[in-house]
Structure 1
Amino acid sequence: MPRSRSTGPLPPRVSSPDLPRVLEPAETLTGHEEILGARLAPLHGARDASFARIAECAIPDADLDTFTLTGASLRDVLISGIRATRLIAPGSAWRTVTIDGGRLATLELSGAELDSVEFRGLRIDYANLALATLSDVRFVDCRFGSLDLPEASLDRVQFSGCHADEVDCRSVRSNNLDLRGLEALSFTDPAGLSGATLAIRQAEQHAVAFATALGIRVLE
């Protein structure tokens, strides 16, 4: 008998960063710099790497006030154990990048392009992905205060074991968006979830908000 076609969302196609077996130690990371095949020494204070090109690099144990990557390009990069007050990267491009563990007060990725990116074990107070384009992105065991996605484009994006106090989903455009692993206390605009996949328990939890968005009065 022919196999039945799956009706669930397609999972993201995420690969681990392809790093050289030996990484050269590096201590500097500045704007417009091109750095390849390096292990950046623990970064401290404030670092501005706007418009830098970073490829096949490891960035372990950064402890920063501000890490600025505005307009930067990251390819095959592993960031692990990061702690930063602000990671600022609007208009940046991320391809095959993993951020594994850490704490960010603010993650600014407005207008960024993310392709084959995984966020794992992060606590983020405020994440701004407005107008960002996410393709093949996975969030695993992440906790958000506010997750802002207005006018973002999401394709094959998946959440697993995640929690958010508030999700701003105004005018989100999505395809194969799997929210079953995201426990959200509230969605600001249920209409923005069109095309996303929820679990039955999530639909029940937010039923009143969904009904209100459809103009349905819900009374005792």
Structure 2
Amino acid sequence: MKGARRPEVRLPALEPYGGGELEPDGDYDGVEFRERDLAGQDGAGARFMDCALTECALDGTGLGHARFLDSVLTGVRGVGTDLAGATLRDVELAEARLGGTQLYGAELERVLIRGGKIDFLNLRQARLRDVVFQGCVLVEPDFGGARLERVEFVDCAVRAADFTAATLTDVDLRGAAELGIASGVDRLSGAVISAAQLLDLAPVLAAQLGLRVEG
């Protein structure tokens, strides 16, 4: 089992964001967004390099195909944030409160998601490489058709996850404090779980195999 490589983000001195709305295909380099209401804005295709987003509102924010590189997002919150097709590389996402976030077809590489709670995270057809979920709560995350390589779940709760048609390589689920899989249990080849988790998943595995347990 190969462990995930974690991001090592070292931000330079940052310039405060000057205001105004995000721009599609905008270029933000060394910028700090602090307590900004970015709800409903369109930053599709924008590039965020060496940036910090702290306590920002992202309700319905359009960030499709945006690129977040060597950046830190702390305490961001929002419902329906659109990050479909986005690239996150060397990124730390800490204490987020998000719901219905769209990361469909996104690429995540060396990403640490630490603390917070994310409901209905859509990672269908996404590619995750060297990603760590640590101390967070994931409610009904959708990994359908995604490719996961060197992904770790550490001290986090994973509830009703969907791994339908996913491909897993060196995925470590042993550290998940809570592990619930709603569908796609047949796609867990390439993952490692603990003996206790195997017992918890026994009913799902039995159902997948068509086994009837009686007595």
| TM tier, smaller | over 0.9
Instruction: Quote how far apart the aligned CAs of 1:211 are.
Output: 2.2
1:131 to 125, 129, 135: 125
Per the alignment, residue 5 of structure 1 pairs with none
1:141 to 119, 135, 149: 135
Contact kept in structure 2, 1:212 and 1:218, CA below 8 Å: no
Residue 63 of structure 1 aligns to a residue whose secondary structure is: coil
C-alpha distance in structure 2 between counterparts of 1:89 and 1:65, whole Å: 12
The aligned runs of 1:25-40 (5 Å cut-off) are 25-26=16-17, 27-28=19-20, 29-40=22-33
Contact kept in structure 1, 2:33 and 2:56, CA below 8 Å: no
1:196 and 2:191 matched:
yes
After TM superposition, the score normalised by the length of structure 1 is 0.91
Q: Deviations over 1:108-156 (max 9, x none)?
A: 1010000000111120111010000000000011112211001100000
C-alpha distance in structure 2 between counterparts of 1:198 and 1:177, whole Å: 9
Per the alignment, residue 187 of structure 1 pairs with 182
Q: Deviations over 1:154-178 (max 9, x none)?
A: 0000001111220101111011001
Per the alignment, residue 67 of structure 1 pairs with 61
The aligned runs of 1:1-220 (5 Å cut-off) are 9-20=1-12, 22-26=13-17, 27-28=19-20, 29-44=22-37, 45-182=39-176, 183-220=178-215
Q: Which amino acid aligns with 2:68?
A: L
After TM superposition, the score normalised by the length of structure 2 is 0.93
Q: Which moved more, 1:191-200 or 1:11-20?
A: 11-20
C-alpha distance in structure 2 between counterparts of 1:214 and 1:40, whole Å: 50
Q: Which amino acid aligns with 1:198?
A: I
C-alpha distance in structure 2 between counterparts of 1:64 and 1:93, whole Å: 17
Per the alignment, residue 3 of structure 1 pairs with none
More strand by share: 1
Contact kept in structure 1, 2:55 and 2:77, CA below 8 Å: yes
Residue 100 of structure 2 aligns to a residue whose secondary structure is: strand
The number of residue pairs the alignment matches comes to 211
Q: Deviations over 1:168-220 (max 9, x none)?
A: 01111011001112212333121011111111000011112212212322222
Residue 147 of structure 1 aligns to a residue whose secondary structure is: coil
Residue 133 of structure 2 aligns to a residue whose secondary structure is: strand
Residue 67 of structure 1 aligns to a residue whose secondary structure is: coil
C-alpha distance in structure 2 between counterparts of 1:207 and 1:94, whole Å: 35
Q: Which amino acid aligns with 2:104?
A: S
Q: Deviations over 1:24-56 (max 9, x none)?
A: 111343211011011123221322210001100
Q: Which amino acid aligns with 2:102?
A: E
Q: Which moved more, 1:34-43 or 1:113-122?
A: 34-43
Contact kept in structure 2, 1:33 and 1:53, CA below 8 Å: yes
Residue 103 of structure 1 aligns to a residue whose secondary structure is: strand
